[in-house]
A and B are shown apart, each in its own frame.
Chain A
Amino acid sequence: MSQIHVQTTINGDETEFLCDAEETLLDALRDKLGLTGAKEGCGTGDCGACSVTVDGRLVCSCLVLGAEAQGREITTIEGMANGDELHPLQQKFLDHAALQCGICTPGFLVAAKALLDHTPDPTETEVRYWLAGNLCRCTGYDKIIRAVMDTAAEMRGA
């Protein structure tokens, strides 16, 4: 069967790729476009390691078909820093030691950015529930939550 030609925008760049009908957006990003920052931890939407945004909505890219990206705007972890300038969340994750192995980190950053874009002054409970779809097995979440709260405070002050 012939492949589907998809034209889309990824991290602001117009991009095109060919994919099979059953191929996920995550596979297209990783295997076709070399954007391996999004990770497959489960393939069933339970771990959030593959988080990206599609037209500004936070989604698991393992639960989106590549073909659905047609005409959409996708952002991934690779689009989070502005050149060599880190997003404040990225810097705070480093400052707070909010990562150990780092496999879940791209997903957490993408999800946390979506939260702060949406709710600049979240409570700890809001942060915890917003990020409940991002599993981390190393940190016990403590330092991640602190990094997000601290970023929010700093960004509000800025």
Chain B
Amino acid sequence: MLDKTADNGEFKYVGTRPQRPDGLDKVTGRARFGADMVMPGMLVGKVLRSPHAHAKIKSIDTSAAEALKGVKAVITADDFTIDVPEAEYDTMVNCIAHGKVLYDGHGVAAVAATSQAIANKALKLIKVDYEVLPHVTDVEEACKDDAPLLHDNIFTEGLDEAPTTPSNISGRVQFGHGDVEKGFADADTIVERKFRTEATHQGYIEPHACVGNLSADGTGELWCCTQGHFMVRNSCAAILGIDISRLRVTASEIGGGFGGKTTIFIEPIALALSRKAGRPVKVVMTRDEVFRATGPTSSASMWIKIGAKSDGTITAMEGLLKYQGGAFKGTWVSLGCMTAFACYRADHMKTVGYDVLVNRPRAAAYRAPGAPMAAFAVESVVTELAEKLGIDPLEFRLQNAAKEGDQSSYGPKHRAHGLIETLETAKAHAHYDVPLGPNQGRGIACGFWFNFGGETSTSLNIGADGTVNISVGTVDVGGSRASMCLMVAEELGVPYEKVRCVVADTSSLGHNDTTDGSRTTFASGMALILSARDAKQKLCARAAKIWEIPEEAVEWVDGHARPAGPNAGEFDPMSLAEIAGKAETTGGPIAGHHEYNARGAGVSFATHMVDTEVDPDTGRVTVLRYTVIQDAGKAVHPAYVEGQFQGGAVQGIGWAINEEYIYGEDGRLQNPGFLDYRIPVASDLPMIDTVIIENPNKGHPYGVRGVGETSIVPPMAAIANSVSAAVGVRLTELPMSPPRVLKAMDDAKA
């Protein structure tokens, strides 16, 4: 599959750093995001949300709200279809509570009115009679036998014997190989520890927003900010009981997602309100709603045990992970279990995970979902074990790093990847030798993520002037349109500026999976390369017709059709523009397309290195220096690859030091705003240095691996290792906020 590599110097456009196609609109304020769309006759929609963590809805009286002048529709769970497919049922119930509210912020009812003020007033007129139930928001508490039960129809899956009583533990998973007992028996030194992490939010700056317009006959359109408009279409159609073909969804520019916009929240509500009111309805979440009702991560309680021989060989690795996924079943703990030990080789590995239900919003994906917390725990123990053995933590990682052919923690043998290169690069990096001052520490950590392929459909159309339009169905979250244009320019041999990329609506392309799993540049990129090859074949055929020679006698070289050899005839090469200009007379429009379920995604590894300083009197952690080294396979647009590395690292810094969901005794979220949900600000940070490793993925024509997610996996562990080194105490809970660090230091002194 790998057709081009950097080594043979074949790339002309891929690997350069041109201006992005959507850049001008974004620096001038013209780019249209979710909340920027206006439709004629549009109403304002607002959602009434539960003030209780757990309560039965005894009744909802909407009559006063309906009677208010300017109110055009009020909806509750009764307005949604009953026979929703199982796969979408939880999604629907998460959008609007059915019979019971499961967390503070759970949607209960919604209104559409002629103004924001009237809509807000109407919400206050809706009378909900709640029977408040006991609640649980802590993952360990929820596992106890006497914990308040969220669902009486959930029984733990994955146990050897099917349970007979319902539980907040929705499932048990297990991965691994070998026999860890034997492995630990072979170990000379063993470290085991417990860890806790608190939930974090993706923290995108753009709140969820959409405008829906649905007619009584089930024909509709929806404009929204999402990572996957095809997913939005399919889910909304299922929940509203309408045909997929009748709903056209257009993805707006998206103001950040990081996994949090891979599901729906307000979209079916806007459409249901619109259907009832007979007018378009716009719903825009407030920041408070974003925090209370949309996708945080799991919080976790973990136990990790690793043993090694005195020569530094790891003999066994074992982990127990409990992740809460909010009020609904999730799969995040599986990913934590699979990735936890993925950076290492050991004959004996075992991870057991529990998916736990609590009265919190349904956990959504967040950049390498499930992996960062596990990595925090594992990489902390790896460093501690190395220190106990008297081996440099970086050397210890090099010694035990998983290589091609080693059996992975999640099952299959590793294929070629760049983990060792990231570690070697870290060792050789200037950062590694910077001397440290008092109260300072250096930490390193490695991270792994799978990266995905998935369903993808693209098209490519050649204009009469020789310019190229490409359409993708994967939302551009961070500059992927530039990468798409680069790959098509490379393949067709036309200048980057002659290629333009749009994210097409759901009626214009075949189904596309969501922009998630670091798949877009890989999967849409490969589909476009294949679309371009399809078009090249047609361009050659047209040239053959013009020259009146057989198709096989024409080849495509450097943006031109040429006779394939001396026997093909003497013709001057024809450019793409020349052939395109004759398209009308040679058979009509020239286009290429490709639809597939992309195979061949390449995993990605990273090593992060960080220096911190801790204020010994307040426990405050300052990040002094940070370096990200990650395998990108092939960096199509290196500036945006660096951007992914830097952005992931800084999100990880936030997770490590200050970000957390804080619940009160009443089960209500205490910090639903950017004031007290503390994401890093510019003055908190140093520059984030990056090194791009290019160990090509053999599953992609140019060697591309996904890059978006791996960068959030190592930071918390790297910072924990750094802070622990600085203060001489092992930090085992996130976030490492000042009170927690100071307490750990004081406890150690006592």
A1-43 to B contact mask, C-beta < 8 Å, 1/0: 0000000000000000000101000010010000111111111
The answer, yes or no, to whether B59 is at the interface (CB within 8 Å) is no
CB closest chain-A residue, reference B681: A132
Contact in complex: A97, B27 (CB < 8 Å): no
Contact in complex: B205, A104 (CB < 8 Å): yes
Contact in complex: B29, A44 (CB < 8 Å): no
Report how far A102 CA is from B207 CA in the complex, Å: 14
13 A-B residue pairs with CB within 8 Å = A40-B284, A47-B287, A90-B28, A94-B23, A97-B17, A100-B479, A100-B643, A109-B27, A131-B683, A135-B674, A140-B646, A141-B650, A145-B687
With contacts A46-B674, A103-B256, A140-B685 taken as known, whether A37 is within 8 angstroms of B30 at the C-beta atoms is yes
The answer, yes or no, to whether A155 is at the interface (CB within 8 Å) is no
Which residues of chain A have C-beta atoms less than 8 A from B230's C-beta?
none
Contact in complex: B286, A94 (CB < 8 Å): no
B682 partner, pick from A43, A47, A132, beta carbons under 8 A: A132
Report how far A17 CA is from B269 CA in the complex, Å: 31
The answer, yes or no, to whether B338 is at the interface (CB within 8 Å) is no
Which residues of chain B have C-beta atoms less than 8 A from A131's C-beta?
682-683
The answer, yes or no, to whether A66 is at the interface (CB within 8 Å) is no
The answer, yes or no, to whether A49 is at the interface (CB within 8 Å) is yes
The answer, yes or no, to whether B450 is at the interface (CB within 8 Å) is no
A37-59 to B contact mask, C-beta < 8 Å, 1/0: 11111111011010000000000
Contact in complex: B27, A90 (CB < 8 Å): yes
Which residues of chain A have C-beta atoms less than 8 A from B286's C-beta?
43
Chain A contacts to B: CB under 8 angstroms: 20, 22, 27, 30, 35-44, 46-47, 49, 76-78, 80-81, 86, 90-91, 93-97, 99-106, 109, 125, 127-129, 131-146
Query: Chain A: interface secondary structure?
Result: loop
B22 partner, pick from A43, A49, A80, A102, beta carbons under 8 A: A102
List 4 other contacts, CB 8 Å, given A95-B19, A138-B256, A140-B646.
A76-B29, A105-B27, A137-B203, A141-B682
B678-695 to A contact mask, C-beta < 8 Å, 1/0: 011111010110000000
Which residues of chain A have C-beta atoms less than 8 A from B674's C-beta?
41-42, 44, 46-47, 135
A101 partner, pick from B30, B256, B651, B681, beta carbons under 8 A: B256
Contact in complex: B204, A135 (CB < 8 Å): no
Contact in complex: A94, B20 (CB < 8 Å): yes
With contacts A47-B205, A102-B255 taken as known, whether A38 is within 8 angstroms of B679 at the C-beta atoms is no
Which residues of chain B have C-beta atoms less than 8 A from A81's C-beta?
28
Those 9 A-B pairs whose CB atoms lie nearest each other, nearest first: A37-B29, A103-B255, A140-B650, A102-B26, A97-B639, A140-B646, A77-B29, A46-B674, A100-B478
Contact in complex: A78, B29 (CB < 8 Å): yes
Report how far A80 CA is from B32 CA in the complex, Å: 18
A140 partner, pick from B31, B255, B688, beta carbons under 8 A: B688
CB closest chain-B residue, reference A129: B683
Report how far A89 CA is from B116 CA in the complex, Å: 35
CB closest chain-B residue, reference A93: B27
With contacts A128-B683, A137-B203 taken as known, whether A20 is within 8 angstroms of B26 at the C-beta atoms is no
Report how far A117 CA is from B651 CA in the complex, Å: 31
CB closest chain-A residue, reference B480: A100
A109 to chain B minimum Cβ distance, whole angstroms, is: 6
Which residues of chain B have C-beta atoms less than 8 A from A41's C-beta?
205-207, 255, 287, 674
The answer, yes or no, to whether B649 is at the interface (CB within 8 Å) is yes
With contacts A36-B32, A141-B685, A145-B687 taken as known, whether A101 is within 8 angstroms of B117 at the C-beta atoms is no
The answer, yes or no, to whether B258 is at the interface (CB within 8 Å) is yes
